[in-house]
Each structure stands twice: as structure tokens, then as C-alpha cells.
Structure 1
Amino acid sequence: MQKVIRRTVLAERQAARRAKARNEKNNYQKRKSAKEQANYVRRDETSQLKQARFNRREDYELGPLAPRRDVGDWSEKWGTINSQRTKGQVIPKIERRKILKPLGGRFLNIVEGDRVVLLEGRDKGKIGIIKELDRERAEVAIKGLNMIDVSLPKWMLNPADPDQRSVRTIEKPVPITTVRLVTPLTDADTGVTRDVIVKKIARSRIWHDKFTGKASWRRLIAGLDIEIPWPKSEKPPKEEEDQPDDTLRIDVENKTFVPSLLRPPMPGSVIDELRNKYSIFRTRHEPEYIAAKMEEDRIKEEKKKQLVRTPLKEINRRERLLRKAKGKGHLTDEMLEKIGIVIAEKRQITLDAAGVSKEEDVPEFEAFEPAEPFEPAEPAKVEA
């Protein structure tokens, strides 16, 4: 039985080590991929800036004879950027937490479908709807704002797609810190409803659903205690179709089992299937299995006792049993007195071994007597 328990523990430890190594490998691959992408984007930006400076210098020097840039291979790609530069770089977790903390941190108060206003860029002051929110990059894409032209290579074009253009116009994501939530607010005095920019969003208590695992909360305008409604989802509800192998609801709701004291609520075979009694991670076993394993351990111990012993092993075993039967000994007063006599007789041998020739040569320490107190003498008188 001890072997089964040890095997379960070793299997759990091995699984934990493998999971740890797998997580470390995945994190390393993510960091490596992010670093390579950042280096590629940086090189592309640098080369594009160098080429722009060269073109500007050439246009200035040649004047009317300057060549046209929007012909040849760049006839359609002129003024576009690489598709790798459409999104920002992945932000480390510590920095990402600092950025998202004012907006709610883990439970963000800004979601897809919210109306926001841009605070920076060429579309500063315009209001749009959040199309996409990227937590890893702390960016949001606003529908119809911050549009850019992107050149797509041929390998990225799907042959089945009817749109085979190599240049697309898309929304470039902006940092989430450059947007503010916009919500309609009615003035209590005038009754006029207008859009207001919410500078700071407060959050109510968070409720966790123990069945679905989802969290829900209310977002409020800080200082006014006015609730900001969540955007309505534009996605239609998913309709699930019945398949031939699906169990119908009417069959599930039909009561076919009545529990009683004569039979268990679930057959043992189902319990075995749920618990997987052949798993190496199993910690609970049936009484019959435990009894069988204990019997195996008992048989092994008996086999160890029945091993062939040599005469020397028998003598040693008999001596051990005799010593164990006698128990631990103790010294009496007579024994201690005899030991003291023997030590006194062998004192000279001990001194010789220490380097002293005779017992009389051993220096004796005299008792220490305190000296008389010191009194300073009077100074002598010198006559002038």
C-alpha cells in the first residue's frame, strides 16, 4: 500500500514539475516573440525615416527634376505602413497594471461598445465607439477614427476573399490613456440632455457568480453617484441547433429514478468511471483494494523473515536478543568506588603519557594571598 501512495505522490510532483517547465517555456517564447517583433518594428521605422530624409534632401537639391515617388512598386503603397506596425508592443505586466489601475485595473470600467472621446492626435475631440480593446497592449481601436493605410503582402491575402486589394484602410489603435468615457447626462435645472466627458469613474461593490464565475458591478460618476449604463451587446444571441446525438430537454426533465433505501442513488460502475480508479493521481481506493495491498505488504515482510540465514547471522541475532533482554545497565556505588581506585593507580601512567616524568615534579599552585595596599611616599622637602 505504501508503494501505491508513494507512486501517487511522485506522479503529482512530476506533473507539477512538467507544468512549471511548460509555463516557463511558454513565457520565454512569448518574451522572445515580443522582443523580435519590437526589433522588427524599430528597424522598419528607422529605415522608413532614413528614406524619408533622403527623399526630402533629394527633392530639395533636384527641384523640378526630382523623381516621382508614387510610381513603380510604390504606385499603390505610397503613404502606407507595414501591417506589423498597426498595433503597439506588448507591455510588461507590472507596467500594464500601473496603466490600467486608474481605469479599474483587473475589472475595467471601459469596455467594447462604449462611446469615448479622443484627447490626442489628428482626430482630437471626436467621439467614437470602441471597436476593440487590447489589455496586453493597453490600447483601444475606435470605429472610424485614427484611420491609416496598411499595405498587406501577398501571402496575407486569402484567395477565397473577394477583396484582393493589397492596401486596406483600418483603425489604428490608440493608448487607452488618451481616451475618456462619454455618457449622456440630463441637467436637473434646465432638463437638457448633453454628452459629458467623465474624468473619473467610480466602481460599486463587485458580485461574483459562483456558478458561472463571472463578476458584475456598477460604474458610477465619481462624486455625483450617477450610474453609467453598460453598452448593449450588438452580437445576436447564439442559436444552438439540435444534433442527432443530443439528449432532448424533455428526456432530461422526465423523472425516471426514485431514490430508496434498497438501492444506492448511483451504481458503482459509474462511480468508478468518474473517479478513474486506474489513474496514477488517485488518492481514494475501495476497501477491497486496500485490503489486497495490505496483504501484499504482509507477504513481503514474511518473505524477508524467511530468508536463509548463515551461522554468523544467527549468532549475531542471538547476541542482539540477549543484549535487548538485559536492558540498559547502571553503575552502583561499589562500581564507582572501584573505578576511582583504578584511576588513582594509573595516575602515574597518565602523567608519563602527558610528558611529566615524576609525580613530585607537578607544580603545586599556592594559595593566593592579597598584597598589602600600596601607600605612596611623601614627597621630599627641598630647601632653597
Structure 2
Amino acid sequence: MQKVIRRTALAKAQHARKAQRRSERLAWEARKAKLGEDRERSRLVYKDIKQARITRREDWELGPLAPLRNVGSAKETYGAMEVKRIRPTEVLQDERIKFWNIVEDDRVVVLEGRDKGKIGAVKSLEKKSNTVTVEGLNMVDVQIPPFMLTNEPDKRPVRSVEMPLPLSSVRLVHALTDPDTGITRDVIVKKIVNSRIWFDKHNGVRRWTRLIPGLNVKIPWPKKEPREYKVYEIDTLRASMETRTWVPTLLTPPMPETVIDELRNKYSIFRSRHDEEYIARKVMEDEENERKKRSVEMMRTPLKEANKRARRERKKLGKGTLSREMLVRIGEVMARKRGLLAAAAAPPPPPPPPVTIIQ
């Protein structure tokens, strides 16, 4: 019995070590991915700053002769940011905010940037990056990739969207009533604390109350309108869903053979059918690769120009002729090589007979 207990204890310790190593590996991979995202974001920022400096210097040097930059392929997208720039960088798991005291539909004030001092409603939260999106504030022009405009009626390549703000850059705005004067006005709440956190077993979520420290004033959560479910004529009735319309027999399997296409990966090489969007994207990739190949072939490089001049010079010389001395020299070389080949192909001579010595 002692051996069984010992083996159990050793197994638990080994499982704990494996779990620790697994958690450390996942944390290292998360840090590595975050560093990669930070480097990519910094590269895009420095690229835009460098191009802006070059443009500013050219405009200053050329003055009225400065070129127009919103022409050609950049006619409609000049000055707009790439989509990668507006995506917030995810923070590590231990750095994420666990209990959010600012939620959607809350009124907040921006503390920095060009919209400093303006008040707006929180549009969305990004808990993986500790950022919030305020409706109508911190607007930026974003370049929309062409593949995102294929199935949309709006074909504008540039759109104005709200760029997420760090949670530290906003403060909650709440209406408080002065007990002495009875005047109600908006105040900026510098700090919010949580009350006792309790678990709502009916909804399966944690709940708490927002408080202003020092005043012990409760800040109510924004009211959410109940979700409306609309009934359409094309909706399937529950009676139709519960009606049994197919009974498997011994001659037919309980599931059709096409189920395997739905269970496999969407982009599996063994899948017998693909979605129209996937096929269209692959066709566009092939066309883009062909276009790049044609553009490379049509590009005029210094090496191609040199080869073209060399071919033109050789064409001017015309076709060469062989003189009698050259033909005689070629025949001698061919005869010598033929003799060497014949000598190499000839069988070796027989060995000499053995010599017997008589004493």
C-alpha cells in the first residue's frame, strides 16, 4: 500500500512540474508574440515619420514647385493610415484589467490628444489590450484593403473610424447633485473602486457596485435595452423542426457521405468542396502572382539593356564563315579525340606467360 501512495504522490508532483513548464512556455510564447507586434507597429510608425520628414523637406526646398502627392495610385488614399496601425497591441495576461469599472454606453472624457476635454460615449471595449473606443472621438482615416470591398456596397477606399484609446487616457463622467445648492452637474471621476464582489449564479457572472472613494456615492451601471427578437416569414417553425421527416434504413447510412466535408477543416487539402470566398481569394492570388511575373519581365534593367546592345552588335557582324585552315584544325582535333576514345575502348593486352626457373 505504501508503494501505491508513493506512486500517486510522484505522479502528482510530475503533473505539477509539467503544468508549470507548460504555463511558462505559453507565457514565453505570448511575450514573444507581443514583442513581434510591438516591433511591427514601431516599424510602421517610423516608416510614416521618415516619409513625412522627407516630404516636408522637399516641400520646403522646392516651394511652389513642390509636387502633388495625392495623385496616381495614392490619389484617394494619401494621408490615410494602414489597418495594422489602428489595431491595439494585446497586453500580457497578467497585465490585463480583471474588473472593468468603465463599460459600454458610459460617458467618458478624453485626457490627451487632439480631442482633449471632449466627452463621448464608450462604443466598445477591448479587454485584451486595455483600450476603449469612444464614439465620434479620436477619428482617423484608414485605408481599406481591396479584398474587404468585394462584397460591400460601399466602395470607398478610405473611411473615418474611431481609433482605440488606452483606458488610462479616459475618465468617467458622472452627474452629481450638490447637497448644498441642489445643482446637478457633470463631474470627472478621478478614481473608482469596487464594492464587495459576489457571484450571480443565475446568470453565471461576477457582479459588484461602482463607488467614488471618500464620498461613498454609488455610480449606477448604464441601462441596457432588452434585446428584441423579430419574427420573419421565412423563419422555420418549431413544429416543422420537431417533425421527423427521414428514417434511416439498413440500406442507407444514418449520415450522408457529404457530412465529411462539413467536419473537415475549411481549408483542408482533402476537402471535396470549398466556399466561393475561398475560391475567389485563391484566384485573385494567382492573378496577382501572374501580374508580378509580367511586370518583372517587362521591367527594363541595366543588364537587359547591356544584353540588348550586345545582341545588336552581334547582329551587325552577320553570320561567321569557317576558313580552310580552321576546318583542317577542327578535323585534327576530332581525329585525335577519336583515337583516344578507340584506345580507351580496346581490350587490355593478355598477361605474359609465367616464367619457370629451374635450378
TM-score (norm 1): 0.53
**Aligned residue number for residue 174 of structure 2:** 183
Task: Tell me the secondary structure at the aligned position of residue 54 of structure 2.
Answer: helix
Aligned equivalents of 1:220, 1:135: Cα separation in 2: 21
1:116 maps to which residue? Answer: 108
The 5 A counterparts of 1:197-216 are 197-216=188-207
Query: Which residue matches 2:61?
Result: 61
Structure number with higher relative contact order (C-alpha < 8 Å, ≥ 6 residues apart): 1
CA distance in 2, matches of 1:13, 1:188: 61
Residue 89 of structure 2 aligns to a residue in which SS? coil
Structure whose CA Rg is larger: 1
Contact 2:199/2:206 (8 A) holds in 1: yes
2-structure distance, mates of 1:210, 1:246: 32
Output the amino acid matched with 2:201: K
Partner of 2:36: 36
- Once the two structures are TM-superposed, the CA of residue 180 in structure 1 deviates from its matched residue by 0.7
Residue aligning to 2:145 = 153
Measured in 2, the distance between the counterparts of 1:204 and 1:246 equals: 47
- The 2-side partners of 1:245 and 1:224 are apart by 59
> How big is the shift at 1:32?
4.7
Q: Could you tell me how far apart the structure 2 residues matched to 1:246 and 1:219 are?
A: 45
Cα distance in 1 between the residues matched to 2:60 and 2:137:
34
Q: Describe the shift of the 1:168–1:216 C-alpha distance in structure 2 as closer, same or farther (beyond 3 A).
A: same
User: Which one is further off, 173-182 or 17-26?
Assistant: 17-26
Amino acid at match of 2:34: A
**CA spacing shift, 1:231–1:45, aligned 2, 3 Å:** same
Provide the rounded CA distance (Å) in 2 between the counterparts of 1:139 and 1:111: 11
Q: Deviations over 1:310-339 (max 9, x none)?
A: xxxxxxxxxxxxxxxxxxxxxxxxxxxxxx
Residues 27-74 of structure 1 deviation map (CA, whole Å, 9 limit, x = unaligned):
666555433333222222112111111111111111111101111111
Over 3 Å counting, the alpha-carbon distance change for 1:111 and 1:34 in structure 2 is same
The CA deviation at 1:243 is 3.2
The CA distance in 1 between the partners of 2:21 and 2:204, in whole Å, is 28
Structure 1 residues 13 and 158 mapped into 2: Cα distance closer, same or farther (>3 Å)? farther
Q: Deviations over 1:240-292 (max 9, x none)?
A: 98634878xxxxxxxxxxxxxxxxxxxxxxxxxxxxxxxxxxxxxxxxxxxxx
Counting only pairs closer than 5 Å after superposition, residues 167-246 of structure 1 correspond to structure 2 as 167-234=158-225, 236-237=227-228, 243-244=238-239
* Percent identical residues: 47
Q: Which residue of 2 aligns with 1:127?
A: 119
2: CA distance between counterparts of 1:21 and 1:235? 46
Please tell me the residue identity of whatever aligns with 2:109: V
Give the conservation status (yes or no) of the 8 Å contact 2:212–2:219.
Answer: yes
Distance of aligned partners of 1:242 and 1:93 in 2 relative to their CA distance in 1, 3 Å threshold: same
Distance across 1 between alignment mates of 2:156 and 2:13: 54
Aligned counterparts of 1:166 and 1:177: Cα–Cα separation in 2: 32
DSSP 3-state at the match of 2:150: coil
Provide the rounded CA distance (Å) in 2 between the counterparts of 1:234 and 1:44: 41
Matched residues in 1 for 2:120 and 2:209: separation? 22
Q: Say which SS state the counterpart of residue 183 (structure 1) adopts.
A: strand
Distance 2:226 2:68 in 1: 47
Task: Give unmatched runs, 5+ long, in structure 1.
Answer: 1-8, 101-105, 248-384
Distance in 2, matches of 1:166 and 1:200, equals: 41
Question: 1:215-241 CA deviation, whole Å, 9 max, x = no partner?
Answer: 111111211111111011246255798
The answer to whether residue 136 in structure 2 is matched with residue 144 in structure 1 is: yes
Aligned residues: 235
Letter in 2 for 1:64: P
Which 5+ residue runs of structure 2 have no aligned equivalent? 1-8, 243-359
Task: Please give the per-residue CA displacement for 1:169-190, whole angstroms capped at 9, x wherever unaligned.
Answer: 1001111011111111112222
Partner of 1:70: 70
Please report the RMSD computed on the Cα atoms of aligned residues, expressed in angstroms: 3.6
